[in-house]
Chain A
């Protein structure tokens, strides 16, 4: 059974940093691209970032480029999202998601972790 478990969310002040983690199990992690999607309160889904299984291919949405960094540890079956210079508009539930195929759509999602950026 595929399982994705996010952690690391919380309350942070504008300009602060936070690191999200997503622990995966139930599939061959190193073969799967992994990414993050967020959802602001009461809003729709926004794609954030993805990293290929090898780590060679990384993509970000424009609004987080230069502030967020995706990484992974294939020995620990974990993907991370380092978020720096956080803004109020980064407030959202952040979902970890596994790609269905090589850099495709997302077939499994975690339960999400809430990040609140507020003073």
Chain B
């Protein structure tokens, strides 16, 4: 199975900060990479697919980049509603696998 490693696992940031989360695949996955946001007690929400395509309805402050093995999720200016846990997922091969998650907390 392809291993997905996110960094950092958690960190604190302030409203208005620019934030970047990284995700590394143990082997090449082309652009078959999605990012999800999950808030406590809620289902995950798709933010980005195909590494860099914004899902409909997702604010433009979210962006994704990368291909192959290295990917990033960037939030250009943090808003209060962005404090959550973020997961990357590869869907290049089975089993599909998630990163361990990055918990974003308010500083």
Q: Which residues of A contact B (CB under 8 A)?
A: 37, 44-47, 50, 59-62, 95, 100, 103-112
Contact = CB atoms under 8 A, between A and B. Distances in A.
Given A47-B98, A59-B95, A107-B46, 10 more contacts: A45-B87, A47-B89, A50-B96, A95-B44, A103-B91, A104-B91, A105-B46, A105-B49, A107-B55, A112-B43
A20 B35 CA distance: 26
Nearest to B96: A47
Interface residues of B, number: 22
B interface majority secondary structure: loop
Which of B55, B91, B98, B100 has the most C-beta atoms of chain A within 10 angstroms of its own C-beta?
Answer: B91
Interface string B14-46: 000000000000000000101010100001111
A60 B99 CA distance: 18
20 contacts: A44-B101, A45-B101, A46-B98, A47-B89, A50-B96, A59-B94, A61-B95, A100-B46, A100-B49, A103-B91, A104-B49, A104-B91, A105-B34, A105-B49, A105-B89, A106-B46, A107-B55, A108-B46, A109-B43, A111-B43
